[in-house]
Every structure is written in C-alpha cells, then in structure tokens.
Chain A
Amino acid sequence: MTTRQRTRVTVNGRVYEREVEPRVTLADFLRHDLHLGGTHVGCEHGICGVCTVLIDGLPARSCLTLAVQADGMEVTTIEGLRDPETGKLHPVQQAFVDAHGLQCGFCTPAFIMSTVELLRDNPDPDDEAIKEALGGNLCRCTGYETIIASVRLAARRLREQSGPA
C-alpha cells in the first residue's frame, strides 16, 4: 500500500523531483517538502481558497490537488512573482500594499494569484468580472472593498506599464 510516487513538478521555473506519498496534497508538498510557506492552508476542503496557486497558468486549489497529480505540470506560487533580478514585488503585490488590500495577510497570496490570472486575460475588468474571478477566495478581516480597489489599481498600473493601447 501507499507506494511512493516519483513526481516531477516545475515550481516557479525550477524543476523538483521527489518521492511523494500519494495522499500528500500539493499544498502540503509546497509547504513541507519545498519549504514554500507562502501558500497557506485553511479549510482543506475547497471552500476558503487560501491555498490557491497557478497550475499550468490557471488558479486552482492546491488542497484539492494531490502532489502526484501535478506530475509534469508547472506550478506558480506567490514566491514566484517577485522579479528575480531586482527583487521588486510584482505589480499586483505592490498594488495590494499601496491600496491596503490586506490586514492580517493570511488570504493575500491566494487573492494575488487569482488576480494575476484575471489580469493576464482581462487587462481592464469591471467590478463584476473582479468579483467573479475572486469569488472563490475568502477574506475574513480586510473586507472586500480594498481588495477590489487593489485589483483595480494593479490593472491600471499594468495597463500603463504595457503602454497605450
């Protein structure tokens, strides 16, 4: 029973190959095996969304994905957003700082991962699109107003950065 599986996952551009027990979730694999603690764990059954990472570019619950399922896939976590050359925060991270999109910060990495994908496909989302994209992420202290403001600020900066349309 429970034969360990050789699993090869690319996380934030780096390839990791590990022997993994099948029942280990991707969230626990990231935190305990790879020591990437920025991905948080809350409810562990897909409600709270704090474990959201990008799997092959799409936001997903890392508590509802087994590490072995991610074999051959590319995972991006909050640790992968900072500019590796300059160390500067990703524009979405900086916008959450500047627009006060966090209070305790527990849910923040997940909100940011969902936002990164939203703005990649939709550079100028209206509030409805923002709410739909972030509906799977819960915040229990900041309140959603400043989170939505952070997303709007990030969208504006990213549009300015990419030049006039």
Chain B
Amino acid sequence: MKAASFDYHAPPTVESAIALLQRFEGEGLDTKLLAGGQSLMPMLNMRIARPQVLVDLGKIEALDYIRAEGEAIAIGSMASKRAAEDSPLLREQQPLFHAATLLIGHRQIRNRGTVGGSFAHADPAAEYPAVALVQDIRMRAQGPNGVREIAASDFFVTFMTTSLEATEILVEVRLPPFRPGTGWAIQEFAKRHGDLALAGIAVTLRKANGRCEDVRIGAFGVNATAVRLPAAEAALNGQSATTENFARAAAVAGESVAEPLGDVHATPDYRRQLVKVLTERCLAEAAARAA
C-alpha cells in the first residue's frame, strides 16, 4: 500500500526541529519524528500510522556520532545501526550492545535504521531496550527547556510508547563502561533470521570465587516493554555457576514473567517456555565468558 498524505520538514538542527515540534503541537497537528524510517515507514505504508506531519531528523549531522566520553560511550541518536555494527569502539568495549546490533533486521535495514530510532520507537520485541535495562543505558532528551537524562527503567512506558514529551527529541544514548570480566549473552527466537523476536533474553553477570554475582536478566518480546526478571536474578545471585543452578534460575525466569503476550505467532505459554529455555542458554553462555 501507499502512505496517506503528510507534510514534511527536514530541519538542519535539533533546535529548529524542536521549534517545529512546538509549532505543530500548538496547531494541534499529529506529528511524528522520522529517523531512519525502518519501522515507521512500514506503518505509514500500511496506514497503521497516519500522521499529518513528519519531521525528518536525517539532515541533522550533529546527531550522527559514536564516541568515547571518558569511560562511557555516547551514541548520537541518528547514528545508523550499520555504524554501530562497524564501530571498533563498540565491538571492543561494548560486546553485548554490539551483539544485539547484529540481531536487528538485515544489513539493508541496519544501513538505514538508526540507534535512536529503535529506542524511541520502543517496539516490545526490539533488542536494544532489553540491553538498556540490563546495562543501565541512559537516554538524553532535548526539548524546549534544554537536555534531560532519563534512565532506561523510566524511558520505556508501554507498547511503542516512551516517556519522551511531544516536543522532545532523543538526542543520545549513553552506555556506561562495560566492566572487564563481565560475562554477557543475548539470544532470541524468531521465525526467520532477521525477524522481530517472539522472545529474547539478554544477560550480564560476574563471577567471584566461582559464585555468580550482579546477575542481570532482561527479556524482550514477551511484555509491553522489555523487562528485567528480578526473581530469576535473585535465584542465581550468590550461587555457584553450575548448570543445575542455571536451570533453576531459568525455571524461575519462565514462571515469573507476568502475563506474557499472546498472538497468532505464539501463545503466552509458548513465550514463557522460550523465556525459560533462552535464559538457561544465556546464563551458561554468559558464565563461560565471565572471567
């Protein structure tokens, strides 16, 4: 299908984009920000979304960067996923985020799709939000009153909804340093390679004297947003890194997911089973990587 009509603006700076958002909000126009368009364009073409105005961030070169800021890594919201995939900085210092990037769509999608777009679109089955929860990634949003920081746990509200205000733009995601020796894993189950996941799990953990600590488990594709699974984390914290303990924690993960989504692709029980199986595999993989 073809998209319904809309008006289009491609401002050159963040400030001019915010001014446009303010103006259209004042005029009561339904406005959407366009980043890479790899999720929004299908919704426009299928007329699931029919905004009156699109504000394209594609001309704002100042938002296209991946750089070290002290020990952290700052990613401009308009950096492409291909840039993240090819970034030596991310590959070497942020292995979980880098691995998550490779699970997103196909290369043709990653060439145009942006890092910020995935965060702001907030698809429940997207990989980055789960990584954000596990790694305490912080979002920087710019609006008429300046820049504010938002923790991942406060950013994702529900299906396709974030805590960004109508006149705010996500300008950066900031990855805290990945502590050396931290074990990590991300796995998902999708019908075809490159599809959105029916369910996925991201894990980080540390080992001290053979015992697991600081276990973090994030699930995506199973609830309205990505979620942490604190009961399963608690079940493994302080326990020795054995396959039995991974299986026990994974069972808790499966049981503790509140009301998994059910749709034509997978029933709630099926998603619960996927959470259990993927958690068990991820814990083993992460523990093997932990030093």
Question: Chain A interface (Cβ within 8 Å of chain B)?
Answer: 1-3, 5, 21-23, 25, 28, 44-46, 49, 52, 55, 58-61, 63-66, 68-69, 71, 114, 132-133, 135-137
> Are B193 and A135 interface neighbours, CB within 8 A?
yes
**Chain B: which residue is nearest A69 at the CB level?**
B58
**Chain B: which residue is nearest A20 at the CB level?**
B8
> Are A64 and B42 interface neighbours, CB within 8 A?
yes
The one of B1, B52, B58 that contacts A1, using a Cβ cutoff of 8 Å = B52
The one of B5, B56, B106 that contacts A69, using a Cβ cutoff of 8 Å = B56
> Are B112 and A65 interface neighbours, CB within 8 A?
yes
Question: Chain B interface (Cβ within 8 Å of chain A)?
Answer: 1-8, 10, 34, 37-38, 41-42, 44-46, 52, 54, 56, 58, 82, 105-109, 111-112, 193-194
The one of B2, B7, B42 that contacts A46, using a Cβ cutoff of 8 Å = B42
> Are B41 and A46 interface neighbours, CB within 8 A?
yes
User: What separation, in Å, do the CA atoms of A8 and B264 have in the docked complex?
Assistant: 43
Give, as a whole number of angstroms, the nearest-CB distance from B88 to chain A.
15
> Are A45 and B46 interface neighbours, CB within 8 A?
yes
Give, as a whole number of angstroms, the nearest-CB distance from B80 to chain A.
9
> Are B5 and A44 interface neighbours, CB within 8 A?
no
The residues of A that contact B112 with a CB separation of less than 8 Å are: 55, 58, 60-61, 64-65
Given A45-B42, A59-B111, A65-B37, residue A136 in contact with residue B52 (CB < 8 A):
no
> Are B108 and A49 interface neighbours, CB within 8 A?
yes
The residues of A that contact B10 with a CB separation of less than 8 Å are: 68-69, 71
Q: List 16 A-B contacts (CB under 8 A).
A: A1-B6, A1-B7, A21-B5, A22-B6, A23-B3, A25-B3, A44-B1, A55-B112, A63-B41, A64-B45, A66-B8, A66-B41, A66-B56, A71-B10, A114-B108, A132-B107
User: What separation, in Å, do the CA atoms of A118 and B226 have in the docked complex?
Assistant: 33
> Are A136 and B5 interface neighbours, CB within 8 A?
no
User: What separation, in Å, do the CA atoms of A23 and B42 have in the docked complex?
Assistant: 12
Known: A25-B41, A64-B109. 7 other contacts (CB 8 A): A5-B8, A23-B3, A25-B2, A44-B1, A69-B58, A114-B108, A136-B107
User: What separation, in Å, do the CA atoms of A21 and B4 have in the docked complex?
Assistant: 11
Specify the main secondary structure of chain B where it touches its partner: loop
> Are A44 and B108 interface neighbours, CB within 8 A?
no
**Chain A: which residue is nearest B43 at the CB level?**
A45
The residues of B that contact A59 with a CB separation of less than 8 Å are: 107-108, 111
User: What separation, in Å, do the CA atoms of A68 and B8 have in the docked complex?
Assistant: 8
The residues of B that contact A69 with a CB separation of less than 8 Å are: 10, 34, 37, 56, 58
The residues of A that contact B52 with a CB separation of less than 8 Å are: 1
The residues of B that contact A5 with a CB separation of less than 8 Å are: 8
User: What separation, in Å, do the CA atoms of A132 and B42 have in the docked complex?
Assistant: 22
Given A23-B6, A44-B1, residue A136 in contact with residue B41 (CB < 8 A):
no
> Are A64 and B194 interface neighbours, CB within 8 A?
no
Give, as a whole number of angstroms, the nearest-CB distance from A53 to chain B.
10
Give, as a whole number of angstroms, the nearest-CB distance from A63 to chain B.
7
Give, as a whole number of angstroms, the nearest-CB distance from B144 to chain A.
25
Give, as a whole number of angstroms, the nearest-CB distance from B280 to chain A.
26
The residues of B that contact A22 with a CB separation of less than 8 Å are: 5-8, 54
> Are B107 and A133 interface neighbours, CB within 8 A?
yes
User: What separation, in Å, do the CA atoms of A46 and B6 have in the docked complex?
Assistant: 20
The residues of B that contact A137 with a CB separation of less than 8 Å are: 108
7 A-B pairs with least C-beta separation = A136-B106, A22-B8, A45-B42, A64-B41, A58-B111, A136-B108, A2-B5
Give, as a whole number of angstroms, the nearest-CB distance from B206 to chain A.
31
**Chain A: which residue is nearest B1 at the CB level?**
A44
Given A5-B8, A21-B5, A22-B6, residue A52 in contact with residue B41 (CB < 8 A):
no
User: What separation, in Å, do the CA atoms of A77 and B108 have in the docked complex?
Assistant: 14
